[in-house]
Structure 1
Amino acid sequence: MSKANMMHYLPRVEAGAVGQKLAELQASYPKLGVLALLPEAEKDKVAVLQAACAAQKVQLAGAIFPALVQDGHFLTGGVWLFCFSEMPYFALYDNLPTEAAEAERAVEKIAADVRAQIDHIPDITMFLLFDAMVPNIGTMLDTLYLHLANRVHYAGANAGSETFQPMPCLFDGERITQNGVLLLLLREHKGAILEHGYHTNPHTSYATSTKGNCISQIDWRPAFEVYQELVREHYGEEVTAENFYQFGVHFPFGIVRANHHVLVRIPVMLAEDGSLFCVGEVPSNSVLTLLKAPTVRTVETLHNLTEGLSALNGDISNKEILLFYCAGRRLHLGIPMATTELEAFAGLTHASQIAGALSLGEIGGSTVHGYPLFHNATLVAARW
């Protein structure tokens, strides 16, 4: 959006405060629409937002994340209202199927809905907010690309609880749902820039048995057994079933693609049979490498992100920037270093505001007009 001051943070999610802000905005924008981002601690306030928007006849879509981002800070209270002078096309799809044939049909339906909205319109971003519990997001992105190709830019993030427990986290003016996706089509929008700054370990292995986001075998051996050996050999740490949750986020896998681009996959759960569950799908026979916190090049990441935003949008100083920051990255780096990254990004961009959320996986293209990829441990930024 080109208009200034279209992102508004309210520290209290109360009917009076929300209603007053909506009325103020509606005086300038009679067809006002709102995308609301709530932190998990405020999840019970969805009904307050729905009632306030209904009273003002304002269209509403939104999602719940572990925390919010405001300039150089992570916040666990309040709400972000991302405003539109007129609500763009949006759709909320719930209970997405996971069985392959049914999932393909569901995505074909989504693609058909989108195609009906985008004919002959340049620079549309398909902005996707998934429930992080959907296990086949990567496959769905593949299918969307088969149907839509580069007629849209792809960007988005995963909502939900940082505990990775199921939780309704996507909503519109009437519903709150889970296991779904909220889709918005942002017109005259050039897409997002995504960076993580990880550099690969030269040692690689193969994910020889996988299903969705579960790795059963690496190099034909139990996945956890190989993972323990890799961490011990390369980084001198002992990972056990007892300390796995603490260590997993510090030693994520990287999927090495043919163009040497690395997709980060954070292991978040260990099964009794030694299988590892990651945030995001791991295709069978993927080339894997092991990553570690000190290999995150923060300065390089932030400069690439800022330069990418400028190349895409022109001068971004005094503009409003949407930012999603991966919750796994924050765990990986620690809150002090993650907060320092936010502060440094705000300083580099000279943005008037940086607003967004702590996300559970991120979506961006391999290039500006490229194939959509599902990432962990990244920062996704776009001009609002």
Structure 2
Amino acid sequence: MDSPRYLEAPTGQALEAVLAAWHESLPGYSVLALVAEASAEAVPLLQAACRSAGVSLAGAVFPALLQEDGALPRGVVLLPLHGAPPPLLVEGVSRAEAVAPLASRLAAYVDAQLDDDTEATLFCIFDALVPNIATHLDAWYLALADRVHYAGVNAGSERFVAIPCLFDQEHCIADGVLLQLLPGHQGAVLEHGFQVPEQVITATSASGNRIVQIDWRPALEVYGEMMASQYGVSIDRDNFYTYAVHFPFGILRADGEVLVRIPVALDEGGGIICVGEIPPNSVLTLLDARSGAERCVPQLAASLAAMPRSGADLLLFYCAGRRMHMGPAGMDRELAELARRLGPVKLWGALSLGEIGAAVCGGYPLFHNATLVGLPWSGSWSVR
């Protein structure tokens, strides 16, 4: 199986050479492309090369790329897929009226590609600025249940400004989702390692990814008081994001799962805007990202080691908010430790702006922040 390729300075000629080499050994292959934001100008070149070669393309723009020795601020990672169906690229998904039609379209896509007893992973990449991702995931599960494993990430700019960040061989869009079915794949592993404090609060007023009130009081007021009393940190509008990345919210679920929500901005009324939806009346806690993070990599490595792997590649996504908390050196240490624990493995991936995976109990897809997502990667997908 041909290995993925990293091109630091992708040109049309270099891209065409990679595609031509794969055409010789992998007739009928397609490409999954991860593009660093600083190299977004390479997307049209990649699209043109794939159109010329007659190759199906799925891809996204991320804040940076990853290999086992750290972040790559520029370039393109090309991952060949053999035996995977063409992707779906869907625009306009932030509209409430788009939720049900997309779930129906997704069910038809899966029905057309899989037999009833075929295991598969549905890999999705959302634009990070889509505010209703969890609502879409709920609708998908109602349509598909446990027929597929769910895994995915968010793409876009770490500045949280709108950019066209999802593409196929013809289009490059914002406000959308890219869907790629991987037949024969057994799913992803997610881990953040955070410990849960005893004190809990309630999001008594929330809308989408915005917390308006906590325990019937303005959200920022309560958040500031908790930061001061629990951690001795004084916050204001100017330093909010600098500190908030270290002290995210945790949504406590009945099954024991903790969904991390990183606050990224404030609105004019003191509402707290997070990456990911906050259901009204959610039971919340304030997490200390400094506590328990050391458990993340050992737990992730143990879970990955227990999964069947064909090939020696791992597709890994690392939350950009987690990197802000850990610092670049801390992220590099986690990547190096993961590679050491997994043995001879080649790591390919990107910084993500939100992560998607199954709950601890069952296969229900959930939206996460501050996690690492690992997918064993062979590049060859087939119906078993």
Fold shared by both chains (TM-score > 0.5): yes
What band does the TM-score fall into relative to the shorter chain? over 0.9
Indicate the residue corresponding to 2:14 in structure 1.
17
State the alpha-carbon separation in 2 of the partners of residues 368 and 288 from structure 1. 20
Aligned AA (1:76): P
Given the alignment of the two structures, is residue 304 of structure 1 paired with residue 309 of structure 2, yes or no? no
- What secondary structure does 2:256 align onto? coil
Given the alignment of the two structures, is residue 88 of structure 1 paired with residue 85 of structure 2, yes or no? yes
1:138-287 mapped onto 2 (5 Å cutoff): 138-287=134-283
Further displaced range: 266-275 or 102-111: 102-111
Residues 94, 176 of structure 2: 8 Å contact kept: no
State the alpha-carbon separation in 2 of the partners of residues 79 and 135 from structure 1. 27
Deviation at residue 97 of structure 1 after TM alignment: 3.9
Q: Structure 1 vs Structure 2: percent identity of aligned residues?
A: 48
Residue correspondences, number: 377
Q: Per-residue displacement from partner, 1:91-128 (whole Å, max 9, x unpaired)?
A: 100111422x4422333332333233223242200000
- What secondary structure does 1:93 align onto? strand
State the alpha-carbon separation in 2 of the partners of residues 63 and 75 from structure 1. 15
Aligned pair in 2 of structure 1 residues 120, 107: CA closer, same or farther (>3 Å)? closer
Q: Which runs of 5+ in 1 are unaligned?
A: none
State the alpha-carbon separation in 2 of the partners of residues 85 and 95 from structure 1. 29
Residues 205, 218 of structure 1: 8 Å contact kept: yes
Aligned AA (1:53): C
2:127 corresponds, among 124, 131, 150, to 131
Aligned AA (1:333): M
- What secondary structure does 2:60 align onto? strand
1:76 corresponds, among 73, 77, 102, to 73
Aligned AA (2:66): V
Residues 6, 84 of structure 1: 8 Å contact kept: no
State the alpha-carbon separation in 1 of the partners of residues 117 and 154 from structure 2. 27
Further displaced range: 115-124 or 11-20: 115-124
Deviation at residue 242 of structure 1 after TM alignment: 1.5
Deviation at residue 30 of structure 1 after TM alignment: 1.5
State the alpha-carbon separation in 2 of the partners of residues 369 and 319 from structure 1. 27
Given the alignment of the two structures, is residue 340 of structure 1 paired with residue 333 of structure 2, yes or no? yes
Deviation at residue 278 of structure 1 after TM alignment: 0.2
- What secondary structure does 2:370 align onto? coil
- What secondary structure does 2:51 align onto? helix
Residues 103, 136 of structure 2: 8 Å contact kept: yes
Q: Per-residue displacement from partner, 1:284-332 (whole Å, max 9, x unpaired)?
A: 111110111221332x211211111122215x7x610000000010011
The alignment's TM-score, normalised by the length of structure 1, stands at 0.95
2:285 corresponds, among 281, 284, 289, to 289
- What secondary structure does 1:313 align onto? coil
Residues 153, 368 of structure 1: 8 Å contact kept: no
Given the alignment of the two structures, is residue 381 of structure 1 paired with residue 374 of structure 2, yes or no? yes
Residues 84, 183 of structure 2: 8 Å contact kept: no
- What secondary structure does 1:322 align onto? strand
- What secondary structure does 2:290 align onto? helix
Given the alignment of the two structures, is residue 103 of structure 1 paired with residue 96 of structure 2, yes or no? no
State the alpha-carbon separation in 2 of the partners of residues 228 and 147 from structure 1. 41
- What secondary structure does 2:366 align onto? strand
Q: Per-residue displacement from partner, 1:108-150 (whole Å, max 9, x unpaired)?
A: 3323332332232422000000000110000100110011000
Residues 33, 79 of structure 2: 8 Å contact kept: yes
1:22-61 mapped onto 2 (5 Å cutoff): 22-61=19-58
Runs of 4+ in 1 over 6 A off after TM superposition: none
Given the alignment of the two structures, is residue 6 of structure 1 paired with residue 3 of structure 2, yes or no? yes
State the alpha-carbon separation in 2 of the partners of residues 359 and 97 from structure 1. 19
Aligned AA (2:302): E
Aligned AA (1:311): A
State the alpha-carbon separation in 2 of the partners of residues 313 and 96 from structure 1. 34
State the alpha-carbon separation in 2 of the partners of residues 279 and 351 from structure 1. 34
Aligned AA (1:163): R
Q: Per-residue displacement from partner, 1:53-99 (whole Å, max 9, x unpaired)?
A: 12222111110000001112101111101101244231100111422
Indicate the residue corresponding to 1:330 in structure 2.
323
Aligned AA (1:340): R
State the alpha-carbon separation in 2 of the partners of residues 60 and 351 from structure 1. 29
- What secondary structure does 2:159 align onto? coil
- What secondary structure does 2:32 align onto? strand
The alignment's TM-score, normalised by the length of structure 2, stands at 0.95
State the alpha-carbon separation in 1 of the partners of residues 342 and 256 from structure 2. 28
